[in-house]
Chain A
C-alpha cells in the first residue's frame, strides 16, 4: 500500500475528500453536532492509514497539496470581510474590543489552569498561543521557549474542537448576533473554526476571518507579557 501511495499524486487527497464526504453524509443523516465532517474525515483517514499500514509522510506526499492552498485561501478571507465592510465600519470598536477581551480570556484561562495543574514554565508557554492560527502560534511558542510540535498539535485540536462545538456553544450561551458568533468562533478557534463559521453564514464567516488576524496580533503581544507571570 505504501508503494501505491508513493506512486500517486492524488490518492491522499481522494482518501481525505472521501472521508470528508462520508462525514457530510453522516451529519445530514443524524443532525448531531458530534458528526462533524472535519472530525470524521480526520478520524477515518487516520484509521485508513493505520489499517493499511501507510506512513504519514507517504500519505502527505500527495495530501500536502490540499494544505498548499491554505495561504491563498486565508488571503481570500479578505473578500467576505470586504463584502461586510459597512458592518465592520459601523461596529469597529465593539468588534476590536471583543476580540481583545477574548484574547485576554485565552491567556488568562491558560495561566490560571497552568498554575492549578502545576505545569512547568515550558509547558505553560507551549499552551499560551493555543487559540491563534498555527503559523503565528508556532513562532510565539518557540520564541518563549515552548515545545513547538506540541503547540502545533494543541492549536489544531483547538481548531477542530471549535469547529465541532461552535454551533452548540453559541446556542447554549445564547450568543445571538451573527457578528458576535463570528467573533467568538474566530477568536477561540482560528482558521479551522472560521471554516465552520463560513458554513453558518456570510457575516459569521467574515467576522471570524477578521478575528483570526486581529486575535493573532493581540496574542503575540499578550503571550510575551503573560510568559513573565508564571
Chain B
C-alpha cells in the first residue's frame, strides 16, 4: 500500500509541474517545477518524508539508465554532428572541464571562507 501512495504523490506533483509548464510561457521544464514544488511541500511539512522516500530513492537510484535511450539516439543525429565535429568536440570537452573545475574551486573557496568566518563568532 505504501508504494501506491508514494507513487501517487510523486506523479501528482509531476503532473502539477506539467500543468504549470502549460500555463507559464518560460523555457522551464515540468520536472524543475515539480522539483521545486516537492521541495517546498517537504520543507513546509505538507508532505512527510516517509510518504515519498522509498519510491523517490528508487527512482533517483535508477536515474542513470534513463539516459541510455536518448543517448543511443545520437546515432540518428550523427550526420548533422559530423560536419562540425572537431570544433564542437573540442569546445564541449574543454568547456565541461572548465565549468566543473571553476565551480568546484569557487565553492571550495567560498565554503572554507565561510567556515573560517563562523569560527570567529
Q: Which residues of A contact B (CB under 8 A)?
A: 12, 16-17, 19-20, 37-38, 41-42, 45-46, 49-50, 56, 59-60, 63-64, 66-67, 69-83, 85, 91, 93-95, 97-99, 101-103, 105-106, 109-110, 113-114, 117, 119, 123, 127, 130-131, 133-136, 139-140, 143, 147, 149-150, 152-154, 156-163, 165-166, 169-170, 173, 175-177, 179-181, 183-185, 187-189, 191-192, 194-196, 198-199, 205, 209, 211-213, 216-217, 220
**Are B88 and A127 touching (Cβ within 8 A)?**
yes
Known contacts A70-B66, A75-B34, A180-B105, then 12 further A-B pairs from the complex at CB < 8 Å, ordered by chain A residue: A20-B68, A59-B72, A71-B34, A72-B11, A73-B66, A78-B35, A149-B77, A156-B74, A161-B96, A169-B100, A175-B101, A216-B28
Determine which of B53, B91, B102 lies in contact with A101 in the assembled complex, contact meaning CB atoms within 8 Å. Answer: B102
Question: How far does the alpha carbon of A195 sit from the alpha carbon of B80 in the complex, in Å?
Answer: 28
Query: DSSP majority for the B interface?
Result: helix
26 chain-A/chain-B pairs, Cβ below 8 angstroms: A64-B69, A70-B67, A72-B11, A76-B38, A76-B52, A76-B55, A77-B60, A78-B36, A79-B52, A81-B35, A101-B106, A102-B99, A105-B99, A106-B99, A113-B91, A117-B91, A152-B70, A152-B77, A160-B71, A161-B93, A170-B104, A180-B105, A180-B108, A184-B103, A191-B63, A191-B67
Is B101 a contact partner of A179 (Cβ separation < 8 A)?
no
When the two chains form their complex, are residues A81 and B27 in contact, meaning their CB atoms are under 8 A apart? no
Q: What is the CA–CA distance of A77 and B42 in the complex, to the nearest angstrom?
A: 12
Q: How far is the CA of A59 from the CA of B106 in the complex (A)?
A: 43
Q: Are B100's CB and A166's CB within 8 A?
A: yes
Within 8 A of A (CB), among B10-34: 10-11, 13-14, 17-18, 26-32, 34
Tell me how many residues of B have a C-beta within 8 Å of chain A. Answer: 75
Q: Nearest chain B CB to A72's CB is how many angstroms away?
A: 5
Does B68 lie within 8 Å of A175, measured CB to CB? no
Which among A163, A180, A198 has the highest number of chain B CB atoms within 10 Å?
A180
* A113 x B105 contact (CB < 8 A): no
Query: Is there contact, CB below 8 Å, between A94 and B72?
Result: no
CA distance A202 to B91 in the complex (A): 31
Q: Is the CB of B111 within 8 A of A91?
A: yes
